[in-house]
Amino acid sequence: MRESGFNEDNPFDAMVARFDVAAKKLKLDEGLYQVLVTPDREIGVAVPVQMDDGSLRVFKGYRVQHNLARGPAKGGLRYSPDVTLDEIRALAAWMTWKCAVVNIPFGGGKGGIVCDPARLSQGELERITRRYTASLIDVLGPERDVMAPDVNTDERVMAWVMDTYSMHVRHTVTGVVTGKPLDLGGSVGRHGATGRGCKIVTDRAISRFNMSRENTKVIIQGFGNVGSMAARDFYESGYSVVGISDVSSGLYNPSGIDVARLLEHCREAKTVAGFAGADPIDGKDLLEQRCDVLVPAATENQITSRNADLIKAKIVCEGANGPTTPMADQVLFDKKIFIIPDILANAGGVTVSYFEWVQDRMGYFWNARTVNERLEEIMTNGFDTVAAYADQHQVNMRIAAYMLAIDRVAFTTRERGIYA
């Protein structure tokens, strides 16, 4: 284990803090504790790339496979100048727990490259992606480790990973990634799945509190894949979306933002800034506005001990991974704010990734109705199971989700036994 003390802003510490509470409640023995908390495999690779100007640069890349007891590693690939190994470790572990919470047959993985895609050309991005994939070729594959898009990566990046892998193994292997373009073996419904899942679990939460969609005001932080698709679904389902932000700006309109028009605006402007249908607001201030549902859908550590007491939402639906620190958890719980934890709330993406992987392996593709009905069923069951577990064990939703997940992975580990 890591030797340094607890650091609120370190995502792996945040994961372990929740894991510890859940493991204690489950009375997990020390040996199994070590097996489940320790990442199975951590790989760091140098990614040397020829830049457009002819110079050579070396980027740092990581892939962590946290636990493979229940199936191949599954998890996104992130491009950001802020990527660290501890962040990727945490994200890989969260994938293990997330897949277990919604009971799909994957372990957890995550990858990242320390780079700023905004400062790279298409050609440079492609060469970085392909070289990184080639370096990891032995640990990837539909039965080993299946990547998906995450922050700053998209279906085009997945197409490059799929093609590079396929060239190395000498035949087309669509199931090595999910979140790829439809005509390369992608699944309908994958792009909007994480946001849709956030909306489905929020539906369950508001019905628990006898709230109606029409009277529920939603604020969303982040307008990328998760945030924009969640905003669209909340809006189309009759919720009032009163606030939205991206990295450069925030928008606030207490009478509701026309999300369809905002999506149009963003297609051109590539940012929410400058949208005429709402007032501009500082992104930090937006989090603190009064609302019923707050959906952090940007990045980690947005609700911390520094601002948790200013949050005025009734429900926090964690679209992002790790947006709330353990210290902030305590403040929100004391304020009786209902948290739908990340490993449940944003599991819609990996659920439809699972559908994509299944369809690739069958070579038979489903229609949108089938995908969305099955997603709805899995997310609804996930929410209801975690809520029942929370009631049964008298714990909050976060700890219940961890307990359920750890219990499932521990069960599989015991059944398989430890290979010697």
Least distance CB 152 / ligand NAD (angstroms): 5
Enzyme catalytic residues: 110
- Which residues contact ligand NAD (rule: CB under 6 A)? 149-152, 194, 221-227, 245-247, 283, 297-299, 319-321, 346, 349
Query: How many C-beta atoms surround the C-beta of residue 352 within 10 A?
Result: 29
Query: Which residue lies nearer to ligand NAD by CB, 211 or 247?
Result: 247
Q: How far is CA 340 from the centre of its chain?
A: 13
Least distance CB 168 / ligand NAD (angstroms): 26
Gap between the Cα atoms of 287 and 291, Å rounded: 9
In contact, 313 and 286? CB cutoff 8 Å: no
3-state helix, strand, coil in the chain (%, to 5): 50, 20, 35
Least distance CB 195 / ligand NAD (angstroms): 8
Query: Which residue lies nearer to ligand NAD by CB, 28 or 294?
Result: 294
Query: Which residue lies nearer to ligand NAD by CB, 153 or 216?
Result: 153
Least distance CB 350 / ligand NAD (angstroms): 7
Q: What distance, in Å, lies between the first and last C-alpha atoms of the chain?
A: 22
Max distance between CA atoms of the chain, in angstroms, equals 64
Gap between the Cα atoms of 408 and 70, Å rounded: 9
Structure tokens at 300: 């980690």
Query: Which residue lies nearer to ligand NAD by CB, 285 or 373?
Result: 285
Query: Which residue lies nearer to ligand NAD by CB, 61 or 227?
Result: 227
Q: What are the b/e assignments for 13-32, b being 16+ CB within 10 Å?
A: bbbbbbbebbbebbebeeeb
Phi, psi dihedrals of residue 224, rounded to the nearest 5° = -95, -145
Query: Which residue lies nearer to ligand NAD by CB, 175 or 349?
Result: 349
Least distance CB 247 / ligand NAD (angstroms): 3
In contact, 175 and 182? CB cutoff 8 Å: no
Gap between the Cα atoms of 186 and 136, Å rounded: 22
Q: Give me the helices (H) in 209-258, please.
A: 225-236
Query: Which residue lies nearer to ligand NAD by CB, 129 or 152?
Result: 152
Least distance CB 182 / ligand NAD (angstroms): 16
In contact, 149 and 179? CB cutoff 8 Å: yes
Q: Which residue is nearest to ligand NAD (CB)?
A: 224
In contact, 190 and 353? CB cutoff 8 Å: yes
Helix (H) or strand (E) holding 392: helix 368-393
Least distance CB 367 / ligand NAD (angstroms): 21
Structure tokens at 288: 């603190």
In contact, 331 and 305? CB cutoff 8 Å: yes
Q: How far is CA 293 from the centre of its chain?
A: 18
Query: Left if phi > 0, otherwise alpha if psi is -120 to 50, otherwise beta: which for 25?
Result: alpha
Query: Which residue lies nearer to ligand NAD by CB, 71 or 227?
Result: 227
Query: How many C-beta atoms surround the C-beta of residue 210 within 10 A?
Result: 6
Least distance CB 384 / ligand NAD (angstroms): 20
